[in-house]
Amino acid sequence: MAKKDKHVSETPATAWLRERGIVFSEHVYEYVEHGGTAESARKLGVDEHAVVKTLVMQDEKREPLIVLMHGDKQVSTKNLARAIGAKSVEPCTPEVAQRHSGYQVGGTSPFGTRKAMPVFVEETVLALPRICINGGRRGYLVGIEPAVLTQALGAKPVSCAL
C-alpha cells in the first residue's frame, strides 16, 4: 500500500481482504452521526445505490446474521425471513450488533467479524460493476467487485429490497 494512505490504519476487515489477496480501493470521508449511506455517497461522489450497507440482524431464535443492502433501499424483513427459512427477522440493537460483529455501528463491515455469521446479499447488488462497502471503521469505505461477496465471503443472494 502506498505511504500516502498510511492515515488509514489496518482494520480486521482490511486484514481479511489482504489475507485473501482481494484488491480494494480505499475511500475516506468525514463521518457524520446518523448520516448513513446518503452522507457517505455525497461526500465521496458516488451513487448511493452502489454504497452497500452492512446490517446485523437476528432471527426468531436470536441467531445473528448479516444482510448487505443497497444504501438507498430498505430490507423487507418479511421477504428476508421467507428467503432464508426463518419465522421472523429483525435488526439487532446497536449493542448486540457490536458484540456479534466486533465493529462499532456506523463502521460495521461484513469482513473480519468477531463472530462467524451467515451473510445474505440483496441479489441486485451483485449486478453492479463495483460497490463501496464499510472497511471496518466509521468514515471508511472500501471499493470492491461485488463478486467478492459471494466468492470470498460466501454471501447468499436473496431478494429482500424495499
Residue-wise pLDDT tens digits, 68-77: 999 999 999 9
Residue 3: pLDDT band (50, 70, 90) is very low
The pLDDT value recorded for residue 67 is 98
- Whether 20 is covered by a domain: the verdict is no
The pLDDT value recorded for residue 6 is 42
Query: Is pLDDT of 139 > 60?
Result: yes
- Whether 113 is covered by a domain: the verdict is yes
- Whether 106 is covered by a domain: the verdict is yes
pLDDT in tens, 83-131: 999 999 999 999 999 999 999 999 999 999 999 999 999 999 999 999 9
- Whether 152 is covered by a domain: the verdict is yes
- Whether 93 is covered by a domain: the verdict is yes
CATH code: domain of residue 75:
3.90.960.10
Q: Which domain holds residue 68?
A: 45-158
pTM of the model: 0.93
Q: How many structural domains is the chain composed of?
A: 1
- Whether 67 is covered by a domain: the verdict is yes
Query: Is pLDDT of 16 > 70?
Result: yes
- When pLDDT is averaged across residues 153-160 and rounded to a whole number, the result is 98
Query: Is pLDDT of 2 > 50?
Result: no
- Whether 110 is covered by a domain: the verdict is yes
- Whether 142 is covered by a domain: the verdict is yes
Query: Is pLDDT of 8 > 70?
Result: no
Query: Is pLDDT of 28 > 70?
Result: yes
SS3 for the chain is: CCHHHHHCCCCHHHHHHHHCCCCCEEEECCCCCCCHHHHHHHHHCCCHHHEEEEEEEEECCCCEEEEEEECCCCECHHHHHHHHCCCCEEECCHHHHHHHHCCCCCCCCCCCCCCCCCEEEEHHHHHCCCEEEEEEECCEEEEECCHHHHHCCCCEEECCEC
pLDDT in tens, 49-68: 999 999 999 999 999 999 99
Residue 9: pLDDT band (50, 70, 90) is confident
